[in-house]
Structure 1
Amino acid sequence: MDTTPTTDPTDSAGTTDPTVRRFDSISLIFNPHSTGNAPDLAAKLADQLAQDLPYTPEIRMLPTAHAGHAVDLAREAAATPNALVVSVSGDGGYNEVVNGVMAAGNTDTVCAVLAAGNANDHQRTTARQPLARAIAEGQVRDMDLLHLTTGNGRDAEALYAHSYIGFGLTPVVAIDMEKGNKGALKEMVSVVRSFAKFRPHRITHTDGTRAKIDSLLFANIPQMAKHATLSEAEDRPADGKFEVILFPHTAKWRVLLKAFRATTTGLGDQPSVARYEFITLKPIPYQVDGEVRSAPANTTVRIESAPSALTVIG
C-alpha cells in the first residue's frame, strides 16, 4: 500500500521519510448510541487534532446509522486520496472500518482505532502511543490482516479480521467475559456456564483426517479478552503469519485448566502459519474480531494471512 506523503517531511539530515504522513482528510467513524461514550471521544479527538496538527486537514465526524454502516462510511472515506479513517469503537466497529477500507481497493488510506467500548483487544495490544500524538507525528506502519473465505466459487464469502477468528468454545467464553467486565469470580462463573452449554464440533482437514475440536482460534495479536495470553510470538501483526491455537476435544475440566493457564502464565508458543483450511461437517458458529457469524455444513473454510495489507497509525 502506497504510503507516500502529500508533502515531503524530512529528517535532520534533509532526507525524505516515506513513513511520515500528513493527511488531506481525517474521518472519525463512531456509533452515536455507543455505550462506550464514542460520540464524546470522537469530538474530543477532533478538537485536539484541530488544535495540535501543524497543518489543516478536513476533519469529518461520521456517525453510523445502523449495524454495518461503518463499512459503507469507511469505503466512501477511503475514496478520498491521502485519507485517515479512524474507528472510535471497540474491536467489532474497527472490523467494519477495516473491511470498508479494504473494499475500497488499492488506496493510500491509513486506518486507526480509538478505543470506545468493552472489547478493545486490538488497541490494547498494538497501540504504541496516544492516537492524537501519533497522528501529529505522522509515523505510519504496515499491518497484516487475516483473510477468511467460506465456501467456494460464486458462493464464497470473504472477510478480513484485524485480530482473530475463532471457532468453537474459546472465543465464545472470551467475549462473554469481555462483555461483562465483571471481575475474576463472576467471569469464572461465565466460563463455567459456557462450558455447560457447549458441545464439540467436528471438522475435516485438507489431508482428509477428521477432528473433534473444542476450540480453534487464529490469532493476529498475542492477547484477547484482557486476560488471555494466546501466544508468545513477538513479530505480530506484521510477520506474514498468524498463530493457530487448537483445543482438541477433551474432558471439560481439562479445557477449563487450559483457559485458566491462558489467563495466568499464557499458552506459550503456538504453531505459526500463513494458511489454514478445513471443511465443516455441521453448521459451526465463529467470531471475527468478536462479531458472531455462522458457517453452514459441508463448507470449505480458509484462513490466510494478508501480509502488510493495511497501513495503520497509533
Structure 2
Amino acid sequence: MDIARTFESVVIIFNPNSSGDAPKLAEKLRDGLRELLSYTPDIRLQPTGHAGHAVALAREAAAGGGEVLIVSVSGDGGYNEVVNGVMQGGNPDAVCAVMAAGNANDHRRTTGTMPLAEAIAQGRVRHIDLLRIHTGQGPDAPGEYAHSYVGFGLTPVMAIDLEKGSKGAFREMFSVVRTFSKFQPFAIRQSDGRRRKFDSIVFANIAEMAKYATLSDADDKLSDGKFEVVIFPHMPKWRVLLKALHAATRGLGDQPSVGSYEFTTLKPLPYQIDGEVKSVDAGTFVKVESAPAALPILG
C-alpha cells in the first residue's frame, strides 16, 4: 500500500563532471522542490569527488537517521552506488529516487511513473525488489546490490569494449561489431554439478536494458520476490545475432523467474552490474538472489 511521505531532508547526489549535465539537473531539481513542496525540508546538493564516492555519501545520509530522501542524479551506475550506500546505512526511513543523467538510464526509463519533482511532492513511496550478488562463500563473502540487472558473458564484454572507444552512435556500432566477431563463450559449473557453456546470462529485475533490448514481459514484477533469468546458451553467432535483433524489436517474451541462482566460475569472468563492469576469479562461487521489497523509492 502506498504511503504519503514528507521528508526532513533531501540529499541530491551527482557527479560534477558528468557528461549528462548532472550539475544543472541537480540544481534545477533543488530549485523546483523549493517551489513545489508544501513543507520545507533541508535540501542539500552533494557532488561526488571520485568513483565510489556516492556509496559513502548515500550511506552517511541514510545513517544520519530520520525521514530522508536520497536522490541520485545519474545514470544506472551512479544510482547503483547510491542504492548500495542506502542499503548499508541501515535506515528503514530512507527513501531513494533517481533523475536520469546518464547514457542508458534503463532503471528510470522502465520504472518511472511521473516527473520526479511531482512524485516527491505527492510522497507516494513504493517498495521494489533488489538483486543481491554474492561472490564467494562464508560470512565474509562480498555482497552487492543491483537495482536492475547482473549480466555475464556477452553483456560485460561489450561494455568493456565500448568504454575503451569513443562515444557516438557510429563508433558504438563499430565497437559492438568488432567485439561480437571476437567473442568467445564461457563455461560455469551449475549447482547440480553439471558444466555448461553460455554466450550470455542476464539476471534481470527490469524488463529492458541497454536502451533497446526488451528482455522479458516482466512489466509488473518489480516486487514479486523473483527475478528473470535470460539465458543465451552457446550457439552459432548468426543465431545469437538473430536473438539479439529479436530482443531489440519484438522482445524475448516470457522468461523463467527464480528467487536465487548459483554457480561456480571455471575461469576469471567479467560481469556487468547496473552498467558497471567488475570481475570474479576462477573457482569463485557466485549466488544471485532476490531481496524482496528491499528498496523504498519515489518516481
TM-score interval for Structure 1 and Structure 2 normalised by the shorter chain: over 0.9
| CA apart distance, 1:182 | 4.2
Is 1:247 the counterpart of 2:232? The answer is yes
Select which of 145, 150, 156 maps to 2:130: 145
Is 1:41 the counterpart of 2:25? The answer is yes
Task: Write out per-residue CA displacement over residues 189-236 of structure 1, whole angstroms, 9 at most, x where no aligned residue.
Answer: 333212123211110100011111110100000001111000012322
Amino acid at match of 1:71: V
Q: Measure, in 2, the Cα distance between the counterparts of 1:177 and 1:255.
A: 19
| CA apart distance, 1:187 | 5.0
Between 1:193-202 and 1:255-264, the stretch displaced more is 193-202
Task: Write out per-residue CA displacement over residues 22-68 of structure 1, whole angstroms, 9 at most, x where no aligned residue.
Answer: 00000000001111100000000000001110000000110001100
Q: Percent identity?
A: 64
Is 1:112 the counterpart of 2:97? The answer is yes
Q: Measure, in 1, the Cα distance between the counterparts of 2:29 and 2:173.
A: 36
**Conserved? CA contact 1:174–1:225, under 8 Å:** no
Partner of 1:289: 274
Partner of 2:295: 310
**Conserved? CA contact 1:134–1:313, under 8 Å:** yes
Partner of 1:22: 6
| CA apart distance, 1:238 | 1.1
Is 1:96 the counterpart of 2:81? The answer is yes
Per the alignment, do residues 60 and 117 of structure 1 end up closer, same or farther by CA in structure 2, a change over 3 Å counting? same
Partner of 1:190: 175
Gaps of 5+ in 2: none
Q: Measure, in 1, the Cα distance between the counterparts of 2:136 and 2:211.
A: 32
Is 1:225 the counterpart of 2:210? The answer is yes
Q: Measure, in 2, the Cα distance between the counterparts of 1:172 and 1:94.
A: 21
Select which of 193, 200, 207 maps to 2:185: 200
Q: Measure, in 2, the Cα distance between the counterparts of 1:91 and 1:269.
A: 24
Task: Write out per-residue CA displacement over residues 93-152 of structure 1, whole angstroms, 9 at most, x where no aligned residue.
Answer: 000000000001242100000000112000000000000000011111001000100001
Is 1:265 the counterpart of 2:265? The answer is no
| CA apart distance, 1:186 | 5.9
Per the alignment, do residues 131 and 139 of structure 1 end up closer, same or farther by CA in structure 2, a change over 3 Å counting? same
Is 1:77 the counterpart of 2:32? The answer is no
Select which of 31, 34, 38 maps to 1:50: 34
Partner of 1:5: none
Paired residue total: 297
Amino acid at match of 2:146: A
| CA apart distance, 1:307 | 0.4
| CA apart distance, 1:170 | 3.0
SS in structure 2 opposite 1:166? strand
Q: What TM-score does the superposition give when structure 1 sets the normalisation length? A: 0.90
Per the alignment, do residues 220 and 247 of structure 1 end up closer, same or farther by CA in structure 2, a change over 3 Å counting? same
Q: Measure, in 1, the Cα distance between the counterparts of 2:222 and 2:146.
A: 11
Matches within 5 A, 1:58-73: 58-73=42-57
**Conserved? CA contact 1:241–1:272, under 8 Å:** yes
Instruction: Give runs of ≥4 in structure 1 deviating > 2 Å.
Output: 170-183, 185-191
SS in structure 2 opposite 1:199? coil
Task: Write out per-residue CA displacement over residues 294-313 of structure 1, whole angstroms, 9 at most, x where no aligned residue.
Answer: 01001110000000000000
Partner of 2:148: 163
Between 1:149-158 and 1:71-80, the stretch displaced more is 149-158
Q: What TM-score does the superposition give when structure 2 sets the normalisation length? A: 0.95
Per the alignment, do residues 127 and 215 of structure 1 end up closer, same or farther by CA in structure 2, a change over 3 Å counting? same
**Conserved? CA contact 2:2–2:124, under 8 Å:** no
Is 1:122 the counterpart of 2:107? The answer is yes
Per the alignment, do residues 75 and 206 of structure 1 end up closer, same or farther by CA in structure 2, a change over 3 Å counting? same
* RMSD of aligned alpha carbons: 1.8
Per the alignment, do residues 220 and 20 of structure 1 end up closer, same or farther by CA in structure 2, a change over 3 Å counting? same
Q: Measure, in 1, the Cα distance between the counterparts of 2:29 and 2:160.
A: 28
Q: Measure, in 2, the Cα distance between the counterparts of 1:18 and 1:219.
A: 24
Per the alignment, do residues 119 and 175 of structure 1 end up closer, same or farther by CA in structure 2, a change over 3 Å counting? farther
Q: Measure, in 2, the Cα distance between the counterparts of 1:269 and 1:139.
A: 30
Per the alignment, do residues 180 and 236 of structure 1 end up closer, same or farther by CA in structure 2, a change over 3 Å counting? farther
| CA apart distance, 1:237 | 1.4
Between 1:240-249 and 1:196-205, the stretch displaced more is 196-205
